[in-house]
Structure 1
Amino acid sequence: MYLNLILSFLCGFFPLVNIISDFKSTDTQPVFKGGQKSLVSFIDNNLIYPEFSKDNCLQGTIQVSFKLNKQGKIFDSKIQKGFGVDLDIEALRIVRLTSGKWIMPADHDTLVSLVLPVNFTLRDFKCEQRSKDEINAAINTYHARLGLNSAIYNFYDKKAQGSYDQADEARIIGLKAQLGYDDKYVERLLKQAQRKLKQGDKEGACEDAQTVRRLGSGISESMILQNCK
């Protein structure tokens, strides 16, 4: 049994929410506190369009499935259908951020799966000029970057432990430049971490702060010490 929350997020526009359900008319559905308008406002205020996807015109619908316990807290959340890029990560994050904000009927079945399709759409980014081949190439580039990111992270992890090879440092610095991981990038990443922390997403904030550290920057150390174990 599924409850489908259809969410359309239009970058730069007010998002629209419709609720479609295959519950029987006699069933009582979970309701986001404050109703649909509050859910729309919550998503609009908290969703962060991922940088790689925004820069490469990646857009579309990510389906996130999850369950709610009797207290309206989310568990067993996962991507049901996605693209395997950072859109998936943000869609999952924003759904998890709604945890504890649901009004639950007394007879709610906690085994019921809910699906929230999050539609990321960019406007005024000239994305209509991008071909399908270019979009597929961008997705492939994203996956290739994951391996390169790991090489950078591993180097700085070892450097922090004092066991790195100095001969590799020039190569890693060049790799960072190739991927665009300059001072401005890590500053944006830290600001994103600070924004997530204000949203109450401590886990997401700490992940971003740790990424800043693993890119060889020390600007997130204060945040990590204060907020991340």
Structure 2
Amino acid sequence: MKVLTTICFVFFSVFVSAQVQFEAGKGNFADFLREHTIYPAFSKANCIQGTVSVSFKLDQQGKIYSSKVTKGILTDLDEEALRLVRLSSGKWKVPSGYDTTTAVIIPVNFRLEGYQCEGKSKSDMAAAIRSYQSEEALINSVINFYKNIDQAKPGQEVQFIAIKKQLGIDDDYLNSRIETGLKKIKQGDRQGACEDFFFVKNMGSNMADVYLAKYCK
């Protein structure tokens, strides 16, 4: 069976879209998002869908100088929505005299088809979101350990190796993060790619060092 991902996007309110316009090739902003979305691994595996609202501001050159998630799902979908909006920086046209302190808010609506998600209930999704948040806390503890490994006590690393095993963070997983980072490089998203490469490094691995040296100086 062919697996398809369908991602739909809700665009601006009429008031905002009348002021600023997205200009990148022949497509509109929804097309841009659809083309560049890399559906995050955890949310895809757990059939997490929904809407993430992102607020951003544009300067006179159409570049984004401030952006944040104003209403999220509290999973990796939040990070992807923010990444996509930042990736659109420089592709906006603003009129002369535009108030650059104006915040543009875009609801980004993530939907999956073809991943056997049709039978998932809201309670299933809520449980998956709680699981994500619990895993994030453990991941952050691992990151903090390896960032400060020079201060670690003898034998302490064994505990964090066990946490990584519990989380399923093995070489295959780290390779998938590197591959995701390389996809982002192809999209011109060096910031997002470096976040993936640094994640690998902060898991105590040198697998992404060559990419960190090449792209993240």
TM-score w.r.t. structure 2 length?
0.89
1:74 aligns with 2:67: no
Paired position in structure 1 for 2:145: 155
Structure having the higher strand fraction is: 1
Candidates 187, 192, 195, aligned match of 2:180: 192
Structure 1 ranges of 4+ moved more than 3 A: 13-20
Distance 1:133 1:154 in 2: 32
Distance 2:69 2:5 in 1: 25
Paired position in structure 1 for 2:14: 21
Paired position in structure 1 for 2:20: 30
Q: Which amino acid is the alignment partner of residue 13 of structure 2?
A: I
Distance 2:26 2:98 in 1: 19
Candidates 193, 198, 222, aligned match of 2:210: 222
Q: Which amino acid is the alignment partner of residue 221 of structure 1?
A: D
Is the Cα contact below 8 Å between 1:17 and 1:36 reproduced in 2? no
How many Å apart are 1:14 and its aligned residue?
A: 7.0
Gaps of 5+ in 2: none
Q: Which amino acid is the alignment partner of residue 86 of structure 2?
A: R
Is the Cα contact below 8 Å between 2:201 and 2:209 reproduced in 1? yes
Candidates 116, 122, 132, aligned match of 1:142: 132
Q: Which amino acid is the alignment partner of residue 207 of structure 1?
A: E
1:119 aligns with 2:139: no
Is the Cα contact below 8 Å between 1:28 and 1:108 reproduced in 2? no
Q: Identity of counterpart residues, as a percentage?
A: 41
Candidates 77, 94, 118, aligned match of 1:104: 94
Distance 2:36 2:112 in 1: 16
Candidates 169, 175, 182, aligned match of 2:157: 169
Q: Aligned with 1:106: secondary structure? A: coil
How many Å apart are 1:34 and its aligned residue?
A: 4.3
1:209 aligns with 2:209: no
How many Å apart are 1:29 and its aligned residue?
A: 2.1
Identify which range, 52-61 or 27-36, moves more after superposition. Answer: 27-36
Q: 1:146 to 1:13 in 2, by over 3 A?
A: closer
Q: Which amino acid is the alignment partner of residue 22 of structure 1?
A: F
TM-score w.r.t. structure 1 length?
0.85
How many Å apart are 1:53 and its aligned residue?
A: 0.7
How many Å apart are 1:39 and its aligned residue?
A: 2.6
Paired position in structure 2 for 1:89: 79
Gaps of 5+ in 1: 1-10
Q: 1:155 to 1:16 in 2, by over 3 A?
A: closer
Q: 1:20 to 1:157 in 2, by over 3 A?
A: closer
How many Å apart are 1:211 and its aligned residue?
A: 0.5
Is the Cα contact below 8 Å between 1:28 and 1:105 reproduced in 2? no
Distance 1:95 1:125 in 2: 25
Paired position in structure 1 for 2:34: 44
How many Å apart are 1:18 and its aligned residue?
A: 4.8
Q: Which amino acid is the alignment partner of residue 152 of structure 1?
A: V
1:133 aligns with 2:126: no
Question: How many residues are matched?
Answer: 214
